[in-house]
Amino acid sequence: MEAVQALLHLDENFDILHRQVIIGGRKASVFAVDGFLTGAVSEKVMEFFYSIQEQDMPKEYSGFLDNFAPFVDIVTIEDQQKFVQFLLSGITCILIEGYQQIIGFDFREYPSRSVDEPEKDKVLRGSRDGFIEALVPNAALVRRRIRDVNLVFQVLSVGRSSKTDVAVVYMKDRVKQGALDEILNRIKKINVDSLTLNKESLAEELFPRSWYNPFPRFKYTERPDTTAACLLEGSVVVMVDNSPAAMILPTSLFSILEDANEYYFPPITGTYLRLTRMLTSVVAVYITPVLLLLLQNPQWVPPSLSFIEIQDPINVPPIIQLLILEFAIDGLKMASINTPNMLTTPLSIVAGIVFGDYTVSSGWFNAEIMLYMSFVAVANYTQSNMELGYALKFFRILLLVLTAWFDLAGFIIGSAVLVLALLFNPVLIGKGYLYPLLPFNGLQLLKRFFRVSLPYSEQHGGNE
């Protein structure tokens, strides 16, 4: 017992509870973590144990389990390492004199927020629940949607200090075994002290990225309905404890572009929303570089499009205006995130004044450039994947700089770099980042652009 007390630093840890009790005439020690303990349930169980008479106490541990511990959430612990891991995970552990094994009871109640709709993954129609920072409730949200014995939650522990629970979720009858084995092997080989940043730390260890390619390697979602749909298509989902986002594999650019809203409306409306999102993303990348290219070469502008030219005097070079606005918009985003709720309205008013008439009347910025950058700022919010939005932003800035330096040649070089980044962005598993465009699959490519009805999708084998 002294060794256990020293191991757990009981004299220093205020939240690790330890109590000496008598169960069936034998000395026993109860260990628990205060923040995880459910008082009402644990009191009832301990009250039952106190009522056990000495003559009824079995000699063997197995007999004690059979006669006095007919509970569901019980684990038998046989070594010190497992004891510490289970205890610090919130399991209530009881050591009874005469038994070599330790009995663990799951009385945990996780500190967590309510199951609300994700702020960044909202839908106009459909379910309003979302993942939280606890793995067990998240698993229940998926189980509620897929009541199939083939749905498997395989839990692994990652991190020498954090020992973070990582769940690999898949449909046993639909997943590709080779892809599943690759993911499991990579997770098992991770050797880090802790997953400090949850899913991002896991992603960096699971598949290290090249610093020069910002396109996302994984699709993330905080929606249980999206997760369930991907599982039924044969995908593998990785869920990390303390993170509300699920990582979906395999990933392609087209799957990242998909949004849950498209599937809560009829096919024609879903198709319109999907095409609008894709077109907006492309225009957001090229609208300001094309504007800069035409401003540098006004002879290319036909008379019918003369309205796109800047009519007022240009006091600040357009490239400087565009770059300042690019960074200023991100600065406003960060300011709004860190602004208390009660001050968000004043911040919006000040930002509207500063980036409105004052900037134009002062001569710093031209109205046409403000108009195009306003479209870019709004277009960034059409993407539910923030990582993809920033990747497109980085390439837009690259196009602006190259176009300003090398004119048309720079614009072509920047476009080529963008295409190459998409072509050579590797994936952990799957057929490619641009599948079904490369390698080409006509039927699947049409499904990526046009939302098809459920009966048609079922008849033609769904998504590959």
Residue 110: closest CA among 203, 38, 185: 38
Measured between alpha carbons, how far is 377 from 284 in angstroms, rounded to an integer? 9
Residue ranges making up the domain that contains 75: 2-105
Query: How many residues are given for the chain?
Result: 464
- Are residue 150 and residue 60 in the same domain, yes or no? no
Q: DSSP string of 78-108? A: -SHHHHHHHHHTT-EEEEETT-SSEEEE--B
Q: How far is CA 257 from CA 216, 221, 293, 434, in A?
A: 11, 12, 28, 12
- The whole-number pLDDT of residue 315 equals 85
- Are residue 232 and residue 275 in the same domain, yes or no? no
Q: DSSP string of 101-128? A: SEEEE--B----------SSS--SSS--
3-class DSSP state for residue 285?
A: helix
β-bridge mates for residue 37, sequence order: 108
Q: How far is CA 418 from CA 217, 321, 393, 410, 425, in A?
A: 16, 23, 11, 12, 11
- Are residue 27 and residue 169 in the same domain, yes or no? no
Q: Does residue 301 belong to any structural domain of this protein?
A: yes
- The whole-number pLDDT of residue 350 equals 62
Q: Sign of torsion, CA 453 224 175 209? A: positive
Taking a C-beta distance cutoff of 8 angstroms, is the pair 250, 431 a contact?
A: yes
Domain limit, last residue, from 218, 251, 284: 251
Residue 251: closest CA among 270, 230, 278, 271: 230
- The whole-number pLDDT of residue 352 equals 64
Taking a C-beta distance cutoff of 8 angstroms, is the pair 421, 415 a contact?
A: no
Could you give the number of structural domains in the chain?
Answer: 3
- The whole-number pLDDT of residue 354 equals 63
- The whole-number pLDDT of residue 348 equals 67
Sorted by sequence, the CB contacts under 8 Å of residue 56 that are 6+ apart come out as: 24, 67
Q: Does residue 457 belong to any structural domain of this protein?
A: no
- Are residue 271 and residue 367 in the same domain, yes or no? yes
For the record, the structure tokens of 150 come out as 């083939």
Amino acid at residue number 25? G
Residue 453: closest CA among 289, 266, 312, 302: 266
Q: Does residue 365 belong to any structural domain of this protein?
A: yes
Q: Does residue 33 belong to any structural domain of this protein?
A: yes
Encode pLDDT of 87-121 as tens digits: 998 899 999 999 999 999 888 877 778 888 888 88
DSSP category for residue 428: S
- Are residue 232 and residue 300 in the same domain, yes or no? no
Domain limit, last residue, from 62, 82, 105: 105
- Are residue 186 and residue 219 in the same domain, yes or no? yes
β-bridge mates for residue 157, sequence order: 165
- Are residue 132 and residue 96 in the same domain, yes or no? no
- The whole-number pLDDT of residue 173 equals 94
Q: Sign of torsion, CA 47 48 51 57? A: negative
- The whole-number pLDDT of residue 272 equals 95
- Are residue 74 and residue 118 in the same domain, yes or no? no
Torsion region of 324: left, alpha or beta (phi above 0 gives left; psi -120 to 50 gives alpha): alpha
Domain limit, last residue, from 105, 139, 174: 105
CA 329 to chain centre: 24
Q: Which ranges of the chain have pLDDT less than 50?
A: none
Place of tokens 């008849």: 459
- Are residue 143 and residue 230 in the same domain, yes or no? yes
What is the end-to-end Cα distance of the chain in Å, rounded? 57
Element (H, E) at 206: helix 199-206
Q: Does residue 432 belong to any structural domain of this protein?
A: no
3-class DSSP state for residue 385?
A: coil
- Are residue 280 and residue 410 in the same domain, yes or no? yes
Measured between alpha carbons, how far is 451 from 263 in angstroms, rounded to an integer? 8
Please state at what angle helix 318-338 crosses helix 267-296, rounded to 10 degrees.
Answer: 140
β-bridge mates for residue 96, sequence order: 28
Sorted by sequence, the CB contacts under 8 Å of residue 336 that are 6+ apart come out as: 344, 347
For the record, the structure tokens of 231 come out as 């599982």
Q: Does residue 451 belong to any structural domain of this protein?
A: no
- Are residue 219 and residue 174 in the same domain, yes or no? yes
- The whole-number pLDDT of residue 344 equals 66
Torsion region of 419: left, alpha or beta (phi above 0 gives left; psi -120 to 50 gives alpha): alpha
CA 36 to chain centre: 25
- Are residue 7 and residue 72 in the same domain, yes or no? yes
Q: Does residue 463 belong to any structural domain of this protein?
A: no
Q: Does residue 275 belong to any structural domain of this protein?
A: yes
Taking a C-beta distance cutoff of 8 angstroms, is the pair 371, 363 a contact?
A: no
Measured between alpha carbons, how far is 296 from 409 in angstroms, rounded to an integer? 13
- The whole-number pLDDT of residue 10 equals 85
Measured between alpha carbons, how far is 153 from 76 in angstroms, rounded to an integer? 21
